[in-house]
């Protein structure tokens, strides 16, 4: 069974901490990004998410990160947990980042 609880690190050096996942699959934690386009100092940011609890343990999940401490943006991540080589758990994710823009005409450039 894939357990999201604990610390995770990606290939860019960003780190995520997930607190205990409850019986309904809900969790919270902090995301410590290593990359940002803002000029402000990066700070840990709160995350909240949900995990689909599967019997085979290779569950899907999603979470939202609110970058409010240093940026006017929000990110959502979706992914799946896999049992990798030697039983090591691997999270494979995709993400969308929404940045604040000044007008509706600028909406086209707001999501990456």
- Over residues 3-17, the pLDDT tens digits come to 899 999 999 999 999
Mean pLDDT of 45-63: 88
Counting DSSP H helices and E strands in the chain, the numbers are 0, 7
Mean pLDDT of 17-36: 91
Mean pLDDT of 36-46: 81
**What tokens does 108 get?**
């086209």
Mean pLDDT of 77-91: 87
Based on its alpha-carbon atoms, the radius of gyration of the chain, rounded to whole angstroms, reads: 15
pTM for the complete prediction? 0.85
Domains delineated in the chain: 6-101 (2.40.128.30)
Confidence band for 46, pLDDT divided at 50, 70 and 90: very high
CA pair distance 62, 48, nearest whole angstrom: 9
DSSP 8-class letter at 23: T
Place of tokens 């940026």: 71
């Amino acid at each position: 069974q894939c357990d999201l609880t604990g610390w995770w690190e990606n290939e860019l050096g960003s780190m995520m901490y997930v607190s205990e996942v409850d019986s309904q699959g809900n969790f919270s934690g902090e995301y410590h990004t290593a990359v940002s386009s803002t000029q402000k100092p990066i700070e840990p940011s709160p995350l909240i998410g949900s995990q689909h609890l599967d019997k085979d343990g290779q569950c899907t999940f999603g979470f939202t990160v609110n970058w409010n401490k240093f940026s006017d943006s929000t990110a959502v991540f979706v992914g799946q947990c896999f049992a990798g080589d030697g039983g090591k758990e691997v999270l494979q994710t995709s993400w969308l980042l929404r940045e604040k823009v000044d007008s509706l005409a600028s909406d086209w450039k707001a999501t990456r």
